[in-house]
């Protein structure tokens, strides 16, 4: 195998590299350390798998999840690559057999960080002198990142332990500070940092006020019943509740959270990976390393913890490059819960970083301009309006809210900055509740000054003030609203405040364009469906995810081209010689039979 291009074609069955892949492969083949930041779905796995196949010594791949390791190993073996995997999910006999694979020349060995950094494994690997260590999900090593994992920190010993090995790190999510920290820890800054952008133009971005999650969610899922997707929830209890509700609506919904046994989570994940139209209702316990290309939507029913978390989670949709939709529903209550979570975490420096991260997400969620511009700006990437987010498709009406904001801030001040949004809104709307009367708040100058506005609009207005930094939520005072320095400037008249008119914000359903076009012509829809069923049967028989047999893009090309010979079939992207031999005749027969039917 003389070149990376040849391996790409002869082993993996592809005719051309995706943008950025060849540059990274060239650097790794030249023994350069690399940190590559690539958007989800950009094909980062091939960036290290091809150099590993070309190398004379083994490559060690460090991955955080057993299920991800198993899937990648299955996919490589299906392409005829000799690969090994050692982890706690295998029996002692199986792990011994996998180690013998390595000693007998396996090109790659997949390990968890905990397994790799045992003295016994390090000693065994020293004798093999690996050509390369690959750190997947590399943001987990950095305390500056939002997903720090202590077990990853030990990997910073690798440069001293294996000075002659190349180190390659890959992630889809890392801001500038996190990138610098990863590069310093993994190769002491002696390497290349390659950033191939964060933009996922195929994802439609939508954010909406959470008014009533059931009709809002069903409106979003109305045209997606035949598609796979993820619905993220904040708690285990809410996850189970949402899954039950979706099942009642005749959707194939599966719950997933850390309260389930490991066996149950594996069963549920396997179903999601192998079946077509599944809704995974999950907490953040689900997702890292999920490599299902045909996820068509991601919906958040609660506010994520940070911009990085949001970007990672929506990034699980549309990995095949086809159109996918995202929806974020959030409320003032979500903001308070997130602040409370942060207050109970780590040291002061960590809490400060997490509050800043949440502030960035709140600003994004209340943005009135292009969402993609706001999202990419967080990662130091400049872009123009995308035309594929709610604010581009249906620009919100923005109005001057300075006078209303000043009345609200005055109410917060006069009540001692110790009450939540509900009480403040009652005062502004002139509601003579027991709480208002007991504290004589009906005597305030602002009492009933906002009676022309309904409660929901005032609540959204307060949320926008919080997101813009005019108000804070004091967790120690049970969610009491507090005026910030910027809020005091607004009260003094040195700042103004513009807000999105909530009554003019379109619902998530009305923002949807027409249903995504079929990826194949009308005459090929039936054939594509048959090919998917055939793929699912083969995948289940081998106990692997469906995409390991063939990704959707390969089946779509088959349905369009309708090859009649194995030679024709070999020209389709994603069909290497091993897959052609193992699966080719079966799929060819199905295509020929479909063509002979009236």
Q: How many CB atoms lie within 10 A of CB 224?
A: 19
Question: 185 and 207: one domain?
Answer: no
- The pLDDT of residue 475 is 61
What contacts 144, CB < 8 A, 6 or more positions away?
175, 177, 178, 181, 353
Cβ-contact 392, 367 below 8 angstroms: no
What contacts 559, CB < 8 A, 6 or more positions away?
520, 524, 527, 528, 531
Q: Is residue 508 part of a domain?
A: no
Length of the chain as a residue count: 598
- The pLDDT of residue 518 is 53
Q: How many CB atoms lie within 10 A of CB 419?
A: 22
Question: 365 and 308: one domain?
Answer: yes
Domain boundary residue, one of 146, 163, 195: 195
Indicate which CATH number applies to the domain containing 342: 3.40.50.300
User: 581 lies in which domain range?
Assistant: 522-596
Q: Is residue 294 part of a domain?
A: yes
Q: Is residue 511 part of a domain?
A: no
Q: Is residue 517 part of a domain?
A: no
- The pLDDT of residue 369 is 83
Q: Is residue 514 part of a domain?
A: no
User: What is the C-alpha to C-alpha distance for residues 514 and 535, in angstroms, rounded to an integer?
Assistant: 29
Question: 316 and 369: one domain?
Answer: yes
Question: 427 and 575: one domain?
Answer: no
Question: 215 and 360: one domain?
Answer: yes
Domain boundary residue, one of 349, 365, 393: 393
Average pLDDT for the chain: 88
How many domains in the chain?
4
Locate 329 and state its tokens. Answer: 């529903």
Per-residue exposure over 84-93, b if at least 16 CB sit within 10 Å of its own CB, e if not: bbbbeeeeee
Task: Convert the pLDDT of each residue in 483-526 to its tens digit.
Answer: 999 999 999 999 999 998 864 444 444 454 434 445 666 668 88
Question: 285 and 327: one domain?
Answer: yes
User: What is the C-alpha to C-alpha distance for residues 178 and 256, in angstroms, rounded to an integer?
Assistant: 29
Indicate which CATH number applies to the domain containing 492: 1.10.10.10
Per-residue exposure over 349-363, b if at least 16 CB sit within 10 Å of its own CB, e if not: eeeebbbebbbbbbb
Q: Is residue 507 part of a domain?
A: no
Question: 84 and 214: one domain?
Answer: no
Indicate which CATH number applies to the domain containing 568: 1.10.150.80
Question: 410 and 535: one domain?
Answer: no
Question: Which positions of the chain have pLDDT values less than 70?
Answer: 1-2, 144-147, 288-289, 475-479, 502-523, 596-598
Question: 385 and 406: one domain?
Answer: no
Question: 489 and 377: one domain?
Answer: no
User: What is the C-alpha to C-alpha distance for residues 502 and 73, in angstroms, rounded to an integer?
Assistant: 49
What contacts 562, CB < 8 A, 6 or more positions away?
524, 527, 591, 595
Question: 52 and 35: one domain?
Answer: yes
Cα torsion 485, 486, 487, 490: sign: positive
Domain boundary residue, one of 374, 393, 412: 393
User: What is the C-alpha to C-alpha distance for residues 133 and 122, in angstroms, rounded to an integer?
Assistant: 12
* CA distances (Å), origin 367, targets 61, 384, 424, 455: 40, 15, 24, 22
User: What is the C-alpha to C-alpha distance for residues 29 and 130, in angstroms, rounded to an integer?
Assistant: 14
Locate 331 and state its tokens. Answer: 């409320």
Q: Is residue 243 part of a domain?
A: yes
Question: 346 and 275: one domain?
Answer: yes
Query: Tokens 């080719």 correspond to what residue?
Result: 584
Task: Convert the pLDDT of each residue in 165-214 to its tens digit.
Answer: 999 999 988 888 888 899 999 999 899 999 988 889 999 999 998 989 99
Q: Is residue 475 part of a domain?
A: yes
User: What is the C-alpha to C-alpha distance for residues 17 and 14, in angstroms, rounded to an integer?
Assistant: 8
User: What is the C-alpha to C-alpha distance for residues 397 and 408, in angstroms, rounded to an integer?
Assistant: 21
- The pLDDT of residue 89 is 84
Locate 181 and state its tokens. Answer: 């920290």
């Amino acid at each position: 195998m003389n070149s990376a291009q040849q391996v790409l074609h002869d082993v993996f069955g592809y005719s051309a590299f995706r943008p950025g892949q060849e540059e990274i492969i060239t650097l790794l083949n030249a023994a350069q350390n690399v940190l590559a930041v690539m958007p989800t779905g950009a094909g980062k796995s091939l960036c290290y798998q091809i150099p590993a196949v070309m190398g004379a010594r083994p490559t060690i791949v460090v991955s955080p999840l057993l299920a991800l390791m198993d899937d990648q190993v299955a996919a490589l073996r299906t392409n005829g690559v000799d690969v090994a995997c050692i982890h706690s999910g295998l029996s002692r006999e199986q792990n011994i057999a996998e180690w013998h694979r390595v000693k007998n020349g396996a090109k790659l060995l997949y390990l968890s960080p905990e397994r790799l950094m045992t003295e016994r494994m390090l000693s065994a690997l020293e004798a093999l002198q690996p050509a390369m260590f690959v750190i997947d999900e590399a943001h987990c090593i950095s305390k500056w990142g939002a997903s720090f994992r202590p077990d990853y920190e030990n990997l910073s010993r690798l440069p001293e332990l294996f000075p002659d090995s190349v180190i390659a790190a890959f992630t889809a999510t890392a801001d500038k500070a996190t990138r610098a920290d990863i590069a310093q820890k993994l190769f002491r800054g002696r390497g290349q940092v390659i950033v191939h952008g964060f933009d996922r133009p195929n994802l439609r971005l939508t954010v909406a006020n959470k008014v009533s999650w059931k009709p809002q969610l069903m409106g979003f899922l109305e045209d997606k019943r035949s598609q796979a997707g993820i619905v993220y929830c904040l708690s285990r209890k809410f996850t189970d509740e949402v899954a039950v509700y979706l099942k009642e609506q005749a959707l194939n919904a599966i719950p997933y959270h850390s309260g389930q046994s490991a066996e149950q989570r594996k069963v549920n994940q396997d179903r999601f990976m192998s079946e077509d139209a599944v809704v995974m209702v999950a907490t953040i316990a689900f997702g890292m390393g999920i490599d299902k290309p045909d996820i068509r939507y991601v919906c958040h029913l609660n506010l994520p913890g940070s911009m990085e978390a949001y970007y990672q989670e929506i990034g699980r949709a549309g990995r095949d490059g086809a159109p996918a939709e995202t929806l974020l529903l959030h409320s003032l209550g979500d903001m308070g819960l997130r602040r409370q979570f942060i207050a109970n975490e780590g040291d002061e420096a960590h809490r400060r970083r997490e509050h800043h991260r949440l502030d960035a997400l709140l600003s994004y969620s209340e943005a009135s301009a292009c969402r993609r511009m706001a999202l990419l700006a967080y990662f130091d990437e400049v872009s123009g309006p995308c035309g594929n987010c709610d604010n581009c498709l249906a620009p919100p009406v923005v109005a001057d809210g300075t006078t209303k904001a000043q009345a609200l801030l005055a109410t917060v001040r006069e009540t001692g900055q110790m009450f939540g949004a509900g009480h403040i809104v009652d005062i502004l709307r002139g509601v003579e509740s027991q709480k208002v009367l007991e504290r004589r708040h009906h005597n305030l100058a602002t009492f009933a000054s906002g009676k022309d506005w309904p409660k929901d609009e005032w609540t959204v207005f307060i949320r926008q003030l919080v997101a813009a930094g005019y108000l804070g939520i004091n967790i120690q005072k049970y969610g009491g609203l507090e005026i910030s320095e910027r809020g005091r400037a607004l009260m003094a008249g040195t700042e103004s405040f513009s807000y999105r008119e909530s009554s003019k914000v379109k619902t998530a359903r009305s923002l949807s364009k027409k249903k995504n076009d079929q990826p194949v012509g009308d005459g090929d829809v039936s054939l594509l469906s048959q090919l998917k069923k055939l793929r699912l049967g083969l995948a289940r028989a081998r106990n692997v995810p469906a995409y390991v047999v063939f990704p959707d893009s390969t089946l779509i090309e088959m349905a369009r081209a309708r090859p009649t010979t194995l030679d024709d079939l070999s020209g389709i992207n994603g069909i290497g010689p091993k897959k052609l031999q193992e699966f080719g005749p079966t799929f060819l027969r199905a295509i020929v039979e479909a063509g002979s039917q009236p």
